[in-house]
Copies of this chain bind each other. A is one copy, B any other.
Amino acid sequence: MTLQLYGFWRSNAAFRVRVALSLKELAFEEIDVDILSGRQFDAAYAQVNAEHAVPTLVHGGHRLSQSLAIIEYLDEFQPEPALLPSAPRERAYARSLALVSSADAHPLTVPRVRKYLGEAFSADGAAIERWCRHWVAEGLAAYERLLDQRPAAPFALGQDVTIADICIAGQVALADVYGMDRAVFPAVDALASRCFALPAFTDAHPFQQSGYKAANER
């Protein structure tokens, strides 16, 4: 069954879904929605996703939104390899780690927030960039504290890659986008290096997407 992903190189949530699809060896076609140019607000895309956000995954004509909901769905219809542990407490821990980036850090740096900072506070490009770097670092710092409390061995939940690693690696990919130094967060950096040694993560990285490459060749 064909899978279509409405995404974009710059979307951290699309990164998460790309990794999950790839780990599960599910082939997909990615349709670019240029969120830096506001194409997520176009009337045509509003029919696809009423929240005006990427990603949207289309599975056999059925549309799904929100990266974590999509990954849980993928884990239900294609259980192997499992992206959530089987023990309830471990599942809860994996989900809570995933939410640190998805629900706390990353939402503060998305395009509509950057735009509104300009409107509400006359923030210029440099001020908006500082804002984003602050919250990317806050997210990484929270992960660093959490990984100090329970070290990754070798992944956040143990031997297997889970939704937690996908979101932690996503937060690191955000740091890459802002040209930030990962080494300040050594436990996060080490975990991310293990993740990005896997093709599913490498191939999903923002800088590996055709949209990024095209924009940087201009």
Residues of A within 8 A of B (CB): 46, 50-53, 62, 64-66, 68-70, 72-73, 76-77, 88-89, 91-93, 95-96, 98-100, 102-104, 107-108, 112-113, 116-117, 120-121, 123, 127, 130-131, 134, 138, 142, 145-146, 148-149
Sampled A-B contacts (8; CB under 8 Å): A50-B148, A51-B145, A65-B96, A69-B96, A69-B99, A76-B88, A107-B107, A120-B130
Q: Are B70 and A92 in contact (CB under 8 A)?
A: yes
Q: Are A66 and B142 in contact (CB under 8 A)?
A: no
Name the residue of chain B whose CB is nearest to the CB of A134: B116
* A89 vs B63: C-alpha distance when bound (angstroms): 9
Nearest CB on B from A64, distance (A): 5
* A95 vs B99: C-alpha distance when bound (angstroms): 13
Nearest CB on B from A113, distance (A): 7
Nearest CB on B from A199, distance (A): 26
Q: Which residues of B contact A98 (CB under 8 A)?
A: 69
Q: Are A68 and B103 in contact (CB under 8 A)?
A: yes
Q: Are B103 and A99 in contact (CB under 8 A)?
A: yes
